[in-house]
Structure 1
């Protein structure tokens, strides 16, 4: 036969872990009819604060009060067999010490804390149920009485006022109104301090969690910025390599065109420059000849300088590039139109878009525009070089379409 793991009160169906708990239950309630049970007493422990709960109702109340929802079932760990000998002896002594109604003992209505009783009745609890709850919860607090009502609301005798022998009732301690009020204030103060401690503990936990999440977000942001930086470096490197390849192709094309023109003119192929022998160490020059920059290179550097000088205002720089492209395009399409080759420097629109930006007028001068004494920039008809203007248009298109122009 399986060993008994708990004791069940036949009157209120309360499950008790040991004979000692059964004795305490009997002393508190007057119930003396107990039976052995192989079902262990539930032991559901809150993972957040460690509070044990014996029933699902206790778990629900704890969740409503604290918000804790995660419980660990430790029923099997806490379950222990009950000694039958101890049970027999203890129950016998309990039954001997507890007089029954059949012995003709006078029963009287139990007295409870009046202020707590009035508070419960003010909440809507029936008088008998409130008295019963205060009695069986030990009149410790209104909250404990409410918990008892919730757990025993299905009891058949829930609305019966409990009675005890007159001699036992006389032994109870009766508080004066002042003592009862002081006791209630003490219990409430104790509950308030406990709640404050719990809130402080939870706030510390929340602060730790906030710090942990903050560090994780900072680390994730750092990694993302590092990856973005590497990606930009790769893009810039690829842009430089593409630009270098494009220049090489243009150079090769120019060489091929030059050779083709010489062939059509019947000229012999251009000889490769002879490599002069290196002079003796003492005759070597201390300088390296510098090739003059081409018009296209001068334009590119001018546009880069313009963007660098105004790097905080990309929209304004882009508008300047587009305005310059419009000037150059008009001249290429209609080189004989004087109005396209003449720009009033003091014009507000010109000043806003080009003239006020350092490098704007310099770019036009590289294209062939000249400053006159009559507040005009003029490109003489005989100075119009379509090849130079086409190069200027190419550089401006590249500056507008290349997102990394002026950044590299």
Structure 2
């Protein structure tokens, strides 16, 4: 099917003619247009007769006027698109000023005169006579080289193989060259200089834009780094505070246990309960000096210990599940440390039902493996530890923390 419109390859707008495409290109700087078999709509409002080129235009017209009925007359106006560039129209006054008078539609059309010598040279090169005549006519009979270049540039013109025709009154005038060779060279030099300057200006503008973008990205990275450091500092302070609270509760529990044991021994010995008033006065509390040194970042060992402590506290009512999780994590760490070259020990499928039951569903399990060096790959389907990132010191520390967590019955309960 022949093309009935031109479609902008950048925004999708349908255009009826080459003139509209040129105007669209000037307004939007778009340059990619293709022939389309999709016609430009012609929706005519039944109330006011306004034509709309698209459904969007008709919707806007409905919102503004309230008119809702449109007649689709696209089929009546659709016609094959002409890809020839529009020729400038000459008014009658311009014709009179030029001394040409009005054109006669019945005027005889003839083949323009061209340089016979140049025509013979082109025919010897293998160009057909109509094509050679057309090239010499449009290049002003300047040279066979210019005509050959014109043929190459207009090879895809639909009428390239047709003999050119001009009005008989213009035959002699058409054969004269519009520009001398010197003028052509000067004009070409001017065009090249203009294109070079335009390219240099465009490159400078793009460099300024790239520099602005680099500055903006640098500022955003600095701000993101500052926020990350601030959040890390707050997290570390909160973690230290939680550890101190845990130590305080542990001391209180131990003191309470000692007091109960002491009371039990006095009871077995038949001694009266200890009078609280006879207790020794508490020792003076020494105010802890605040350190002015900056808080050091939490080490990987402390992060691993925190993961294991959180896992046990989240499932403190199910000691068997916690122990099974610790043993599974210890197996992963031991296998990688013992066989670092075996990929099967360094790759874990997260969707595995056994893994999910023992570790994946428990809080802190996957995070512990990430502290050991594992990374999520393939859209989070696997945990993978690259061979070059295997750190024996980290894996040994992980094994020590897991062994302590398994053997210490008081680990993470306070």
Asked if these proteins are the same fold (TM beyond 0.5), I'd say no
Larger of the two Rg values belongs to structure: 1
State the TM-score bracket (shorter-chain normalisation): 0.3 to 0.5
Q: TM-score, structure 1 length as denominator? A: 0.38
Q: TM-score, structure 2 length as denominator? A: 0.37
